[in-house]
Structure 1
């Protein structure tokens, strides 16, 4: 049900995206911190909505559909905006590219596996990747608007590189798991058992007589 609390929390991650984007264009200290707080709150809902859905037995098809989409939209929007306002530049853009490409890869893989009715559960390492990634992005949103005595940008970039490394590892793990299903050969369907008195191989359509 779309109006259940877990689904509303998931939707809130999508609703907050344009607000965060708008705050990037406000060149004030408070705007950077406000964007960080909103992003942090949205990231927390990624855990809370799933926990509530399982605890309250409100896991739904809508929730399963919206949850990964909301996550990817939020992360992609923030990464693009960090590059746009030059809070992320140079070689530090590489882990951002890796993260985005991995999201596309995993999305395509999940779609393929769903077509053959195979699930792909999230690994513990992937959960750690997500946690480090969200913390790093929140720090980078603040950037130079953080305390002057703290190397905020450097800390955020180190976190993003760590998330990028875990992204490569988990992406490879998912690809290996999916590849096994891609290479699986379907078992041949058993031939129908001939009826009593019927010669073997004549089941089905009658043979034509030449």
Structure 2
């Protein structure tokens, strides 16, 4: 394997995938959410840089071509696992996450079966859009966790009546409960909408990949 900068970025992104989950093992929240969010964003940005640099510097390699989609899928799968695991298991979150995970497993298995033929099925713009939508949705959902835990920390020592008075404007909002609550609500809604969009694009790209694979799956007459 050639240790070019694009390949190194790809490998670092691959290693960052389990790192997202490890953040929640060694840090308390909201620090775990912050570290996971920053790690995920940095890793997501390398997804664009490594491909751009490989093409610009003519350093495209077979190893990099193979590892790049694996790193993307690892980031998405691990991050979704963490988000679902720390959520209330709402069907509005679990269903699109299931669609995304199922598609990634199905297409990965299909590529393994196709072998060298899979390399002839080029990555489409639809597949790139679905990856972008997945990354943005996951980042926003991590941000929701940050808002949520700062809100909970700010209400420590308050009873529900005091919280209600502050949020209704009857008491002065000295701890910023309102903007933390608004941030939690809006990032949660936006993250879910983006995740459903990502799930739709993921499903469509999976169908498109399967359709292109059908000629190679037919038994010889």
Q: Smaller-chain TM-score range? A: 0.7 to 0.9
Give the match for residue 202 of structure 2: 167
- The alpha-carbon distance between structure 1 residues 118 and 72, as it changes in their structure 2 partners (threshold 3 A), is closer
Q: Is the 8 A contact 1:113 1:120 kept in 2?
A: no
Give the match for residue 21 of structure 2: 21
1:50 correspondence with 2:51: yes
Superposition RMSD in Å: 2.1
Gaps of 5+ in 1: 187-210
- The alpha-carbon distance between structure 1 residues 30 and 176, as it changes in their structure 2 partners (threshold 3 A), is same
Greater CA drift, 79-88 or 31-40: 79-88
- The alpha-carbon distance between structure 1 residues 34 and 179, as it changes in their structure 2 partners (threshold 3 A), is same
1:148 pairs with 172, 181, 196, which one? 181
Q: TM-score, normalised by structure 2?
A: 0.76
- What is the rounded CA distance, in whole Å, between the counterparts of 1:121 and 1:65 in structure 2? 13
Runs of 4+ in structure 1 deviating by more than 4 angstroms, as ranges, are none
Give the match for residue 136 of structure 1: 137
- What is the rounded CA distance, in whole Å, between the counterparts of 1:145 and 1:87 in structure 2? 16
> Which has more helix, going by share of residues?
2
Give the match for residue 5 of structure 2: 5
- What is the rounded CA distance, in whole Å, between the counterparts of 1:129 and 1:156 in structure 2? 14
**Correspondences of 1:1-210 after superposition (within 5 Å):** 1-25=1-25, 26-86=27-87, 89-116=90-117, 119-146=120-147, 147-150=180-183, 151-183=186-218
Q: Is the 8 A contact 2:17 2:71 kept in 1?
A: no
- What is the rounded CA distance, in whole Å, between the counterparts of 1:135 and 1:116 in structure 2? 31
Greater CA drift, 129-138 or 15-24: 15-24
- The alpha-carbon distance between structure 1 residues 174 and 35, as it changes in their structure 2 partners (threshold 3 A), is same
- What is the rounded CA distance, in whole Å, between the counterparts of 1:170 and 1:105 in structure 2? 12
Give the match for residue 202 of structure 1: none
The SS at the match of 2:181 is: coil
- What is the rounded CA distance, in whole Å, between the counterparts of 1:115 and 1:130 in structure 2? 23
Question: Displacement, 1:30?
Answer: 3.6
Q: TM-score, normalised by structure 1?
A: 0.80
Aligned length: 186
Larger Rg: 1
- What is the rounded CA distance, in whole Å, between the counterparts of 2:77 and 2:145 in structure 1? 21
